[in-house]
Amino acid sequence: MRCTTLAILTASALSAQQSAVDAAGSYAAAIRSLGTFFLILLGLIFLIVIALALIPLTRRHRGIEQEPLEQTHQPSHGTETRLGTMVGIATAVTILILFGLVVASVSVGKSIAGPSTHANSIAVEITGNQWWWYVRYANLDPSRIVVTANELHIPVGRPVMIRGSSNDVIHSFWVPNLQGKRDLIPSRITTLWLQADRPGRYRGQCAEFCGLQHAHMALWVVAEPAVQFESWMTHQIEPSVAPSSPDEQRGKEVFLNSGCVLCHAIQGTPANGQVGPDLTHFASRMTLAAGTLPNNKGNLSGWIADPQTIKPGTKMATVPVKSEDMQPLIDYLESLR
Ligand code: CUA
């Protein structure tokens, strides 16, 4: 019974939302197949080597009892030639296997480098920051450029080109269910292709140590059918919704009259800070502080009141907000769907 529970737990952990063995697209599947191939082949070789190493151990034990000492130390010419041949064969097999592994590795490397044609693909710029992800959907029409943070929506079945960079130190963009890692380097653009073949939410994680909150630098990739993706896109292009109650109106005034505007932008309002995440559609996002907390009113008030306790070292400033202004501010921000 315990074994069954353990098996179920392991299985559910393996199909988790951040897992390199639960491939959700062709690139991740190619990497997983390569990993499985390496694991099985090298596992077999390991077992064979251990078995071969155990044989002489048992023989030697018998040999000491049965043969005179000088004979075991002076092998005949025939034995020496045979041993030499075996070592030669083993070396040749080793070289062949290594060569085969290099060929397999290089061919998978090529297959995950991107699609043969860029038709039907979309391009997204991702910039690493200590400790959050700036996300911008490129478009030749400036009115259709979408800026968001810590959450990437992609259409199922379409290749997505990530153009990555960094604003400070080296980060690494990694969504294990979809693709391998790619470093995000300051003053440089690195590219990576993603493709999800089934809808789902896949967790990504910064994979290069980048300072105190490296572990709290997560991002979610939401892969959705074309229709849902297009409606998400259309909604993101729109400016922020207007406050629908006096309480939210008060919250908006609190936001615009505080230090928040120095770092954050809300389209459709004068707030145009470019240091922190764009908050135009803040309430539509799943998490706060780059995957640190689920996005809800309780967590948001804790985050605004004392960001350093939740994420020590974060660049998010502790902005003094009067206690009576906190609730309207939270209500306003959580209305920005
Ligand atoms: Cu960014 Cu680690």
Identify any residues that bridge with 147 across adjacent strands, giving them in sequence order.
Answer: 136
Give Cα 250 to chain centroid, integer Å. 38
Kindly state if the Cβ of 219 falls inside 6 Å of ligand 1.
Answer: no
Determine the Cα–Cα distance for residues 183 and 206; give it in Å rounded to an integer.
9
Whole-number CA gyration radius for the chain: 28
User: Which atom of ligand 1 is nearest the CA belonging to 215?
Assistant: 2
> Can you give the pLDDT at residue 55?
85
Residue 194: helix, strand or coil by DSSP? strand
State the pTM of this model: 0.84
CA of 204 to the centre of ligand 1 (A): 11
Orientation angle between helical segments 77-111 and 26-66, nearest 10 degrees: 170
Q: Is 128 in the pocket of ligand 1 (CB under 6 A)?
A: yes
148 vs 125: CA distance, rounded Å: 11
Angle at 137 between CA 162 and CA 334, to 5 degrees: 115
Distance (angstroms) between ligand 1 centre and the Cα of 214 equals: 4
> Looking at domain 246-334, what is its CATH homologous superfamily?
Cupredoxins -  blue copper proteins (2.60.40.420)
Is the shortest distance between the CB of 126 and ligand 1 below 6 Å?
Answer: no
Distance 206 CA to ligand 1 centre (A): 4
- Does the beta carbon of 216 sit less than 6 angstroms from any atom of ligand 1? no
Confirm or reject: Cβ of 171 under 6 Å from ligand 1: yes
Cα 219 to ligand 1 centre (Å): 11
Summarize the confidence of residues 104-114 as an average pLDDT: 93
pLDDT band for 3, please (50, 70, 90 cuts).
Answer: very low
The CB of 214 under 6 Å from ligand 1? The reply is: yes
pLDDT at 17 over 50: yes
Same fold, 1-55+85-237 and 246-334: yes
In the chain, what are the domain boundaries? 1-55+85-237, 246-334
Atom number in ligand 1 closest to CA 171: 1
Contacts of residue 334, defined as CB under 8 A and 6 or more positions apart, other chains included, come to 282, 283, 296, 297, 300
Using DSSP's 3-state secondary structure scheme, residue 288 falls into: strand
In angstroms, the CA 300 to CA 293 distance is 9
Taking the C-alpha atoms of residue 277 and residue 275, their distance in angstroms, rounded to an integer, is 7
pLDDT in tens, 61-101: 555 555 555 555 566 778 888 889 989 998 999 999 999 99
210 lines ligand 1 (CB under 6 A): yes
Higher-pLDDT residue of 207 and 53 is 207
Structure tokens at 295: 């996005």
What's the whole-number mean pLDDT along residues 259-270? 94
pLDDT band at 11 (very low <50, low <70, confident <90, very high): very low
Task: Tell me, using a 6 A CB cutoff, whether residue 217 lines ligand 1.
Answer: yes
The 10s digit of each residue's pLDDT in 320-331 is 999 999 999 999
| Spacing, Cα 310 to ligand 1 middle (Å) | 17
Please report, rounded to a whole number, the percentage of residues in the chain having pLDDT higher than 70: 91
The minimum-distance atom of ligand 1 relative to the CA of 170 is: 1
What pLDDT shows up at residue 7?
45
In angstroms, what is the span from residue 163 Cα to ligand 1's centroid?
Answer: 17
pLDDT of 15 over the 50 cut:
no
**What is the arithmetic mean of pLDDT over 180-184?**
96
- Confidence grade of residue 168 (pLDDT, cut at 50, 70, 90): very high
Task: Tell me the DSSP string of 145-168.
Answer: -EEEESEEEEETTS-EEEEEEESS
For residues 182 and 175, what is the distance between their CA atoms, to the nearest angstrom?
Answer: 10
- Whether residue 206 has its Cβ less than 6 Å from ligand 1: yes
Q: What's at 9, amino acid-wise?
A: L
pLDDT of residue 46: 94
Arithmetic mean of pLDDT over the chain: 89
The arithmetic mean of pLDDT across residues 128-133, rounded, is 95
Residue nearest atom 1 in ligand 1 by C-alpha distance: 171
136 within ligand 1 shell (Cβ under 6 A) = no
- Interval 215-230: pLDDT, tens: 999 999 999 999 999 9
Higher pLDDT among residues 57 and 51, named by residue: 51
Residue 272 is classified by DSSP as B
What separation in Å is there between the alpha carbon of 173 and the centre of ligand 1? 8
Cis peptide bond upstream of 133, omega within 30: no
DSSP string, 199-233: -EEEEEE--S--STTGGG-EEEEEEE-HHHHHHHH
Q: For residues 150 and 291, give the distance between their C-alpha atoms in angstroms, rounded to a whole number.
A: 7
CB of 149 closer than 6 A to ligand 1?
no
**Superfamily grouping for domain 1-55+85-237:** Cupredoxins -  blue copper proteins (2.60.40.420)
Least confident of 110-124, 280-294, 300-314: 110-124
Specify the 3-state DSSP secondary structure of 235: helix
∠ CA 9-25-237, nearest 5°, is 105
Question: Which ligand 1 atom is the nearest neighbour of the CA of 210?
Answer: 2
Would you say 219 and 152 are in contact if contact means Cβ atoms under 8 Å apart?
yes
- Nearest atom in ligand 1 to the alpha carbon of residue 169 is 1
**Ligand 1 centroid to 48 CA: how many Å?**
41
